[in-house]
């Protein structure tokens, strides 16, 4: 049997997310993200005209795009897809020169430089996935709004959710094929 | 109405560290790279046309400055890196989809071609320097060093046309790449136009011609002033096409190009420093000169060089500004 590569995705339910910021704090702690930097963040989007207003709350991060412009722009191969996955974008800090081409390439502004100089961003908690654990942001979510899994497995929670519910991705027009899906 | 609030810190300008992308180093590098491309192409064309007697500066002298410019450009690039000790990583891989990877390998091609062209033209271009090196090589290393030097010179001279033929595609590649480096980002609509490649190439060759005008005298100066006038004309035309392209593209590109029309401080900076002082004025002065007007010889080419640098500063800065503004809208 041919082993298919994993297609890791996050499905975030904007209908249950309350914007508490637990995911942001959990990520900071789990990944020891340096001061002033964040790998995920909360966005509140209010639209409509008073009194008919709507609010959508999103927990945003690197979209681990299937067509990642940061991977294409990297001159040294530091930004790469993790082996065995279709889309898990990682940065090899020993190859990164700090040229910042990936930061210029990312339409989501998900990347930053750390004080040591290399670029960094969300890894979907790659080290936890290896231990068969869920990403930190997903485990702490008190509203259980963050789901994580493999889209190439039709039985995974994320696959089932995307079959059942309406969803969107951010900036689909830039052609990145983002893999963080928002249930709307 | 649509209002977006970011309730926890996003990686946003003053609100976060590590957010800065490119500062002054990149436009300086893009300018010096373009200037080097211009020198290479113009010198190669003059060598192929055997213009050593007629146009000595362009054929034999200006080429010596190219490695100095490109080295300062690469120094600026190096200063921009935030993980400096890993700079050698550029040369441990070649990434087909990365323009920056192409560029770093093109830069590596520029040096040998450039040095071979210098060796081939040194005796005619800088007879005193040539004599001094020859003398020193005898006094320091005896006959052996002098022998190596002479055989290098004669080898370079024998194949001078070949170096010139290689220098043209390498120079054009370097010039175009400096533009494509910016244009290959779908995330940055103001840069996202492949016409930046030809624009930076023409601007680079124009800067090269201006440098020759600065250094040359008499008939050579007039000849290159004329060439520069044509290049400025072409640059204005390509710039016009850039605006047409952006204004007729997607909504984000239309919005971004308006930074240079009416939406930001970059608009007056662009029209005054790049278009008026950097392109129209020197073209006008050079035209006046052909009509017998008295213009200080250094003025038009200096303005062209200034305009070339200003063009790159405006484009790089406009993108940073667009990024800040779109984030400010969010906050």
Q: What is the pLDDT of residues A67-96, one digit of tens each?
A: 999 999 999 999 999 999 999 999 999 999
The CATH number for A66's domain is: 3.30.70.20
In this predicted structure, what is the pLDDT of residue B2?
73
Structural element, H or E, at residue A55: strand A52-61
Distances, alpha carbon B51 to alpha carbons A17, B124, B155, B276, in Å: 73, 12, 20, 33
- Interface confidence, given as ipTM, is 0.91
A8 found inside a domain: no
Is the Cβ pair A43, B95 closer than 8 Å?
no
Query: Would you call B188 an interface residue with chain A, using a CB distance cutoff of 8 Å?
Result: yes
Q: What is the pLDDT of residues A49-60, one digit of tens each?
A: 989 999 999 999
Block residue for tokens 């290393």? B141
A175 found inside a domain: yes
A1 found inside a domain: no
Is the Cβ pair A75, B104 closer than 8 Å?
yes
In this predicted structure, what is the pLDDT of residue B8?
62
Most confident of A45-54, B33-42, B250-259: B33-42
Confidence of residue B17 (pLDDT cuts 50, 70, 90): confident
Tokens representing B142? 């005896």
Taking contacts as CB-CB distances below 8 angstroms, the residues of chain B near A74 are 95, 98
CATH 1.20.1630.10 fits B13-330, yes or no: yes
Tokens representing A158? 């994320």
Of the candidates B64, B310, B99, the one whose C-alpha atom is nearest the C-alpha of residue B186 is: B99
In this predicted structure, what is the pLDDT of residue B323?
79
Closest-CA distance, A67 to chain B, in angstroms, reads: 12
Query: Which residue of A35, A37, A96 is in closest CB contact with B83?
Result: A96
Closest-CA distance, B182 to chain A, in angstroms, reads: 9
Q: What is the pLDDT of residues B195-222, one digit of tens each?
A: 999 999 999 999 999 999 999 999 999 9
Block residue for tokens 């830039």? A174
In this predicted structure, what is the pLDDT of residue A1?
52
Nearest C-alpha in A relative to B90: A76
In this predicted structure, what is the pLDDT of residue A60?
94
- Domain containing residue A143: 20-183
Domain count, chain A: 1
Q: What is the pLDDT of residues B77-108, one digit of tens each?
A: 999 999 999 999 999 999 999 999 999 999 99
Closest-CA distance, A132 to chain B, in angstroms, reads: 29
Q: What is the pLDDT of residues B154-174, one digit of tens each?
A: 999 999 999 999 999 999 999
A108 found inside a domain: yes
In this predicted structure, what is the pLDDT of residue A163?
96
Distances, alpha carbon A66 to alpha carbons A2, A135, B133, in Å: 21, 19, 57
Per-residue pLDDT, averaged over B295-313, amounts to: 95
Query: Which residue of A24, A36, A95 is in closest CB contact with B89?
Result: A95
Query: Nearest 5 degrees, angle CA B31-CA B34-CA B39?
Result: 125
Is the Cβ pair B8, A35 closer than 8 Å?
no
Residue pair A124/A88 in contact (Cβ under 8 Å)? The answer is yes
A111 found inside a domain: yes
Per-residue pLDDT, averaged over B30-40, amounts to: 98
Is the Cβ pair B11, A116 closer than 8 Å?
no
Q: Which residues, other chains included, contact B179 with Cβ-Cβ below 8 Å and sequence gap of 6+?
A: B195, B196, B197, B198, B199, B200, B201
Is the Cβ pair B18, A113 closer than 8 Å?
yes
Nearest C-alpha in B relative to A45: B4
Task: Flag whether pLDDT at B6 surpasses 80.
Answer: no
In this predicted structure, what is the pLDDT of residue B272?
97
Q: Which residues, other chains included, contact B49 with Cβ-Cβ below 8 Å and sequence gap of 6+?
A: none
**Mean pLDDT, all residues of chain B:** 92
Query: Which residue of B7, B10, B89 is in closest CB contact with A97?
Result: B89
Is the Cβ pair B100, A107 closer than 8 Å?
no
Per-residue b/e over B296-322, b at no fewer than 16 CB within 10 Å? eeeebbbbbbbbbbbbbbbbbbbbbbb
Query: Would you call B187 an interface residue with chain A, using a CB distance cutoff of 8 Å?
Result: yes
Chain A to chain B, count of Cβ pairs less than 8 Å apart?
160
Is the Cβ pair A43, B7 closer than 8 Å?
yes
Nearest C-alpha in B relative to A34: B17
Q: What is the pLDDT of residues A132-166, one digit of tens each?
A: 999 999 999 999 999 999 999 999 999 999 999 99
Is the Cβ pair B327, A109 closer than 8 Å?
yes
Tokens representing A123? 């890894």
Taking contacts as CB-CB distances below 8 angstroms, the residues of chain A near B316 are none
From chain B residues 227-266, the ones with a CB under 8 A of any chain A CB are 250
A71 found inside a domain: yes
In this predicted structure, what is the pLDDT of residue A2?
62
Mutate to test the interface with B, among A104, A108, A121, A175 (most CBs of B within 10 A): A104
In this predicted structure, what is the pLDDT of residue A10?
97
Query: Which residue of A41, A97, A174 is in closest CB contact with B87?
Result: A97
In this predicted structure, what is the pLDDT of residue B326?
67
pTM here is 0.93
Nearest C-alpha in A relative to B100: A75
Task: Flag whether pLDDT at B10 surpasses 80.
Answer: no
Domain spans, chain B: 13-330
What DSSP letter does each residue of A63-121 carry, written as one string? ---TT-HHHHH-SSS-EEEPTTBSS-EEE-TTT-----HHHHH-TT---EE-TTSSEE-
Percent of chain A's residues with pLDDT above 90 = 90
């Amino acid at each position: 049997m041919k082993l298919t590569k994993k297609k890791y995705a996050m499905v975030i339910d904007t209908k249950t997310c309350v914007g508490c910021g637990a995911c942001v704090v959990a990520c900071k702690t789990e990944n020891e993200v340096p001061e002033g930097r964040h790998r995920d963040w909360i966005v509140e989007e209010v639209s409509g005209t008073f009194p008919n207003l709507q609010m959508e709350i999103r927990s945003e991060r690197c979209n681990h795009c299937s067509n990642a412009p940061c991977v294409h722009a990297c001159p040294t191969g530091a930004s790469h897809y993790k082996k065995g996955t279709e889309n898990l974008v990682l940065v090899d800090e020993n190859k990164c020169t700090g040229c910042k081409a990936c930061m210029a390439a990312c339409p989501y502004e998900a990347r930053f430089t750390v004080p040591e100089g290399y670029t960094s961003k969300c890894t979907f908690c790659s080290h936890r996935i290896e231990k068969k654990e869920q990403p930190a942001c997903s485990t702490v979510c008190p509203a259980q709004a963050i789901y994580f899994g493999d889209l190439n497995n039709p039985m995974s929670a994320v696959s089932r959710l995307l079959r059942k519910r309406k969803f969107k991705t951010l900036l689909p027009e830039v052609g990145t094929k983002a893999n963080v899906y928002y249930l709307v | 109405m649509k209002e977006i609030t970011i309730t926890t810190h996003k990686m946003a300008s003053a609100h976060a560290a590590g957010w800065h992308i490119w500062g002054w180093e990149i436009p300086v590098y893009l300018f010096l790279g373009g200037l080097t491309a211009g020198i290479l192409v113009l010198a190669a064309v003059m060598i192929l046309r055997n213009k050593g007697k007629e146009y000595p500066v362009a054929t034999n002298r200006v080429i010596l400055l190219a490695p100095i410019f490109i080295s300062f450009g690469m120094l600026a690039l190096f200063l921009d890196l935030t993980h400096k000790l890993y700079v050698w990583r550029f040369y441990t891989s070649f990434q087909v989809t990365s323009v920056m990877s192409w560029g770093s390998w093109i830069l590596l091609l520029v040096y040998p071609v450039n040095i071979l062209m210098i060796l081939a033209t040194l005796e005619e271009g800088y007879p005193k320097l040539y004599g001094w090196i020859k003398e020193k090589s005898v006094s320091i290393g005896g006959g052996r060093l002098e022998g190596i030097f002479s055989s290098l010179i004669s080898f370079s001279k024998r194949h001078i046309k070949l170096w010139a033929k290689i220098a043209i595609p390498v120079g054009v590649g370097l010039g175009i790449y400096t533009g494509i480096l910016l244009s290959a980002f779908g995330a940055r609509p103001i840069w996202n136009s492949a016409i930046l490649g030809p624009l930076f190439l023409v601007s680079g060759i124009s800067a090269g011609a201006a440098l020759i005008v600065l250094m040359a005298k008499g008939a050579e100066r007039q000849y290159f002033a004329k060439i520069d006038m044509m290049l400025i004309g072409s640059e204005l035309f390509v710039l016009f096409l850039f605006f047409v392209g952006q204004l007729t593209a997607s909504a984000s590109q239309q919005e971004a190009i308006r930074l240079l029309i009416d939406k930001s401080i970059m608009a007056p900076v662009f029209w005054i420093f790049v278009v008026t002082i950097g392109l129209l004025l020197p073209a006008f002065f050079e035209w006046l000169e052909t009509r017998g007007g008295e213009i200080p010889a250094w003025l038009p080419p200096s303005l062209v060089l200034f305009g070339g640098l200003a063009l790159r500063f405006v484009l790089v800065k406009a993108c940073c500004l667009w990024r800040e503004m779109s984030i400010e809208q969010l906050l």
